[in-house]
Homo-oligomer: A and B are copies of this chain.
Amino acid sequence: MCQLLALNCAEPTDVSFSLTGFAARGGLTDHHVDGWGVAFYEDRACRVFVDEKPAYQSPVAEFLKSYPIKSRNVVAHIRKATQGGARVENCHPFMRELRGQQWVFAHNGDLQPLDGPEHGPYAQVGTTDSEAAFCFIMNRLYAHFAAQANTAPGVDDIDAVFDVIEQATRTLNPYGIFNFVLSNGQAQFAYCSTRLSYVIRHWPFSSARLVDGDLSVDFAERGTPADRTAVIATTPLTDEVWTACEPGDLLMFRSGALVRRAHVPVPAEVLATAKYAPSELSAVPA
């Protein structure tokens, strides 16, 4: 299994603190050694950095710590391969463009092969179940938003985007464990199939201590009333009070706030394959 991290911020935010704790899980405090990746939105642009090396010894990760990018939306992933070798094309997050927006996706779980690719322009480059699922969602979004070109509704209708993602999740759910984070730079979508938590930092800020390293940050020193950050991760990164999602939670975050929630039931046979029962989630070590 892999680890997910996503951030959604009201203001462009230096996320190197969260990234430092997260990168430690790539081989140092946890066993996710088959590559890692992070995507940063800067307004309309999205830069993706991936590496097939373990995050804790990746030169790309080291570089990013010294070159913090300020971003409103971040998607990161540390990989423990279940399907697909430790190759660059199999590293999450994956990125595709739709209607002039970059979309990025990272997955934690393990899916059975889909019955066939959804018809549409998006096809996988690598060999993972995760990229296949992402292409499925993108083809669904394309069918809804872009197939009729300029007469189609815009992807700026973020609630319509949520609806399409909800339907696609319903379709993909029976194939297996499907925790994911997905962003188009306008919102952060997150689905809890078996395990996902989040915390929202807002003014007045307090300090936080990383679970995975000897590092604390006093956010009160730099936060302003305009700042608000939602941090979503497979398991809590810090000693703050995190909210454990329920299996089936599909969440949408905008400007650092949880703005919409839907319940997409996880089939019982999928939950049965999960390593940890949902009720144990808060007690699971990172």
Contacts and interface: CB of A to CB of B under 8 A. Distances in A.
A275 interface: no
A142 B121 CA distance: 8
A89 interface: yes
Interface centre among A63, A87, A99, A120 (most CB of B within 10 A): A63
A96 B125 CA distance: 11
Nearest to A44: B89
Given A66-B59, A149-B119, A89 B45 contact: yes
Interface centre among A50, A88, A120, A149 (most CB of B within 10 A): A88
A44 B121 CA distance: 18
Interface string A31-53: 00000000000111101101000
Contacts of A98: 121, 123
A44 to B, nearest CB: 5
Please name the 10 residue pairs, one residue from A and one from B, whose CB atoms are nearest each other, closest first: A45-B88, A45-B89, A121-B121, A100-B123, A63-B63, A59-B67, A44-B89, A42-B88, A100-B125, A44-B125
